[in-house]
Amino acid sequence: MALYENVTYDEYDIAEPKADSLIHSIRSFGYELSTAIADLIDNSITAKAKNVWVNFFWNGAASWIAIKDDGIGMTQKELIKAMTLGSKNPLLLRPANDLGRFGLGLKTATFSQCKQLTVGTKLKGENLVVRCWDLDYVSDCRQWRLLKQGSNNLEKEALEGLDQGTLVVWDKLDRVVDEEVKVDDDRAHGLFLEKASIVKKHLAMVFHRFLEGPNPLKIWFNDKLVSPWNPFLIDLKATELLTVEPLFINGKRIEVRPYVLPHHSKMSQEEHAYGAGTKGWNAHQGFYVYRNKRMLVAGDWLGLGFQKEEHYKLARIQIDIPNNLDQEWSIDVKKSKARPPQNIRQDLKRIAKLTRDRASNIYRHRGKIVSRTSGAEFIYLWQQSAKHGKISYKINREHPLVRECNNSIKGNQTLETLLKMLEETIPIPMILLNYSEQSDNIKGPFEDEPPKELNAVLENSLKALLNQGLMISDIKKRLIAMEPFDLYKEYVIARCEEFEEENK
Ligand SMILES: Nc1ncnc2c1ncn2[C@@H]1O[C@H](COP(=O)(O)OP(=O)(O)OP(=O)(O)O)[C@@H](O)[C@H]1O
Ligand SMILES: [Mg+2]
C-alpha cells in the first residue's frame, strides 16, 4: 500500500465490475450439478449441521432444488455478507474444521446451475431472514440489487420445524432442465431423476467420512438417508493397509495411508459392485485427497507420471491434508482438484510405486484365469476353449517349449498323447473346491522355488526360442510376455542382456 499512499483522486479512475456482465461470467466456473451441491453441503457442515436435506422437485421448466440444514444459521448481516461475491478473504486463516476458502462457493456453485438463489436462515430463537439473487433482475437493472423476498418455494420447504438452520432454494434451473420443458414430458422427467441419482452417489462418496462412525452427519436425499461409499473397503478382512507415512510441508503434517484392496475372488458379487463406485474399478485407482475429511479427489495419480492401468486397479491411497495448505495444494473454488506441492512429489511417487507393485502382485496372482481369456500378445501355456457350450482347458501347442519338445522328438506321438491325457484329466472339481475353501493356501507359480529352479526353466526357454531363429531382443519381449516370467520381468531382462554380452 505504501507505494500508493499519496495518490490523489485525480490520479485514478474507479473501474467497478459491471453487474450484468460479471454475474453471467461467474456462471462458467465449470461445476457439475453434483460438485455444485457438494459445495453447498460444505457450508452446512462448516455451520455444524447434524442433518442436511437435499430435495429435487420436478415441475417441468419450473422444477427446483432445495438444500436445507439444521446448522447454526446466520444473522441478517451475515446473510447479506454471505450473498456477496468474495464474502471472505481467501488469505485469511480459517478454523481447522472450516471447509470453505474463497468466499465464493455459495454463489458460483448456484449460478453454474440456475438463475435464482433464495436463502432463508435463522439463528436459534430468532426469526427467519431471507435474501435472493435473481440474475434476470440484476441483468435488467445492472446493479447488485439483492432482493429481500425470494422464491415462493421457500415456504414449501419451510424451516418452521427447526430451531435453527439455513435453507437454500434454487429456481430457474436453466442449466439442469430445458427452459421450455413441460411437466408431463416423461423423458425430461427421467433425465431429471437420473441427474438426482448421480448427485446422491457423489454425496455418498465425497462426504463418506462424515457419514461414517459414531454420531455421523445425516444427509437425507429426497427423504432417504444417504449411506456412505468408502473407497478403501476397510471392512473386508483381505484389504491391506501398507505403512502409514506422515509427510511435512512447511512444517505442517499430512498423512498418507496406502491401501491395497482384495482380489475380486475374495469378495462377494455385492462387495465387488460396491467397490466399483461411480466410475468403475479402473478409474477409481490412485490417490484420494481429503481436506478436513472432505474428499476432493476420488482416485487420480496426481500427475506423478503413472497411468491408470487394469493391473494397478487395487491400489487406492488416502492422503489427508489440513485446510491451511490450500495454496500449496492449489485447491480450486470447486474443491474438485488438488496438486501436490513439489517437495513431497518424490515421496508420493515412492509410495505410489510400492502400492502399485503390491496391487499388481495381488491382481496377477489371483487374476490368471481372467487374463487367460482376454490376453492378446501374452503367450499362455494353458488356454481356455469353449466348444458346443462346454469349457475345456488345452495346452498351447504353439508355446515355445512345447514346440521345441516336438521338434526334438520328431514324429514321436508320446508327447501329444501325454498332453492330451493331461488336458482330459485336470482335476477341475478338486481345484475348484480347494480354491473356494482355502484360496490363500494355493501355491502361486514358482512361489517358493529357489530362483535356481526358475533359472533352469528360463535357460531352457531361452534356448528354445534361439533355436527358432529369433533375435535376443525379440526373445526378451516374448519371455516377459510369458508365464511365469512375467512375474520376474527385471530378472529375465537382465539375463537376456547378459546372454547377449556373452555371445557378442
Ligand atoms: N448453510 C450455511 N449455514 C451458515 N452459514 C453459511 C451457510 N452457507 C453459507 N454460509 C456463510 O456464507 C459464507 C459464504 O459462503 P460461500 O460458500 O460463498 O464461501 P465460503 O464457504 O466462505 O468459501 P468457498 O468459496 O471456499 O466455499 C460462508 O463463509 C458462511 O459464513
Ligand atoms: Mg462454501
Q: What is the DSSP string of 437-483?
A: HHGGGSPPTTSSS-HHHHHHHHHHHHHHHHHTT--HHHHHHHHHTBT
Judge if the beta carbon of residue 120 lies within 6 A of ligand 1: no
C-alpha atoms less than 13 angstroms from C-alpha of 335 in its C-beta half-sphere: 32
Give the DSSP H or E segment for 254.
strand 252-260
**pLDDT per residue rounded down to tens, the chain (504 residues):** 567 888 988 988 988 888 888 888 889 888 999 999 999 999 999 999 999 999 999 999 999 999 999 999 999 999 999 999 877 777 788 888 889 888 899 999 999 999 999 999 999 999 999 999 999 999 999 999 999 999 999 888 877 789 999 999 999 999 999 999 999 999 999 999 999 999 999 999 999 999 998 899 999 999 999 999 999 999 999 999 999 999 999 999 999 999 999 998 889 999 999 999 999 999 999 999 999 999 999 999 999 999 999 999 999 999 999 999 999 999 988 888 899 999 999 999 999 999 999 999 988 765 343 333 333 356 778 877 767 667 788 898 888 888 888 888 887 888 999 999 999 999 988 887 776 666 556 676 666 555 777 888 888 898 888 888 888 988 988 888 887 887 777 778 888 888 888 887
Phi, psi (rounded to 5 degrees) for 89: -75, 125
> What is the Å distance from ligand 2's center to 284 Cα?
26
Looking at residue 38, its pLDDT comes to: 98
Strands (E), 261-381: 286-291, 294-300, 315-321
- Tell me which H or E stretch contains 385: strand 382-387
Binding site membership of 348 for ligand 1 (Cβ less than 6 Å): no
In the reported structure, the alpha carbon of residue 98 is separated from the centroid of ligand 1 by a whole-number distance in angstroms of 9
Give the separation between CA 338 and CA 186, rounded to whole angstroms. Answer: 39
Q: Is 122 in the pocket of ligand 1 (CB under 6 A)?
A: no
Residue labelled with grid coordinates 446422491: 200
CB 313 within 8 A of CB 301: no
Residue nearest to atom 28 of ligand 1 (CA): 82
Residue 159: predicted pLDDT: 79
Contacts of 113 (CB under 8 A, 6+ apart): 31, 33, 36, 65, 170, 173, 175, 176
Grid cell 433425465 is found at: 191
The CB density around residue 487, as the number of other CB atoms within 10 Å, is 18
Residues 164, 361: Cα–Cα separation, whole Å:
53
Nearest ligand to the C-alpha atom of residue 94: 1
Amino acid identity, position 292: N
Minimal-distance CA residue to ligand 1 atom 9:
43
Say yes or no: domain 19-225 is CATH 2.40.160.100.
no
How far is Cα 250 from Cα 383, in angstroms, rounded to an integer? 55
Ligand 2 center from residue 43 Cα (angstroms): 5
Residue 47 Cα to ligand 1 midpoint, Å, equals 8
Compute the distance between CA of residue 288 and CA of residue 461 in angstroms, rounded to an integer. 43
**Ligand 1 within 6 A of 458 CB?**
no
Contact 406, 464 (CB under 8 A): no
- Distance (angstroms) between ligand 1 centre and the Cα of 57 equals 24
Round to the nearest angstrom and report the end-to-end CA distance of the chain. Answer: 73
Predicted confidence at residue 435, as pLDDT, reads 66
Residue 35 Cβ contacting ligand 1 at under 6 Å: no
Residues 6+ apart with CB under 8 A from 228: 204, 207, 208, 209, 211, 212, 216
Q: By alpha-carbon position, which residue is closest to atom 30 of ligand 1?
A: 82
| CA-closest candidate to residue 149, choices 135, 131, 137 | 131
Provide the pLDDT for residue 283: 96
Which pLDDT score is estimated for 370?
A: 36
Task: Using the mean position of ligand 1's atoms as its centre, give its distance from the Cα of residue 339 in Å.
Answer: 24
CA 168 to ligand 1: nearest atom? 1
CA-proximal residue: ligand 1, atom 22 (nearest): 103
Please tell me the predicted confidence (pLDDT) of residue 371: 38
How far apart CA 355 and CA 472 sit, in angstroms, is 32
* Chain region(s) in the chain for CATH 3.30.565.10: 19-225
Q: Which ligand is nearest to the CA of 49?
A: 1
Question: Which ligand gives the minimal distance to the CA of 121?
Answer: 1
43 lines ligand 1 (CB under 6 A): yes
Q: Which residues of the chain form CATH 3.30.230? A: 240-365
Fold of the CATH domain 240-365: Ribosomal Protein S5; domain 2 (3.30.230)
∠ CA 338-42-172, rounded to 5°: 105
Whether the bond between 484 and the residue before it is cis, its omega within 30 degrees of 0, is: yes
Mutate to test the pocket of ligand 1, among 79, 106, 294 (most ligand atoms within 8 A of CB): 106
In 3D space, the residue among 365, 495, 375, 327 whose CA is nearest the CA of residue 442 turns out to be 365
Pocket test for ligand 1, best of 35, 40, 41, 43 (most atoms within 8 A of CB): 43
Do the bridges between strand 218-221 and strand 165-171 make them parallel or antiparallel, or are there none, so unpaired? unpaired
- CA–CA gap between residue 385 and residue 387 (Å, rounded): 7
Q: Is the CB of 87 under 6 A from ligand 1?
A: yes
The H or E element containing residue 122 is: strand 116-122
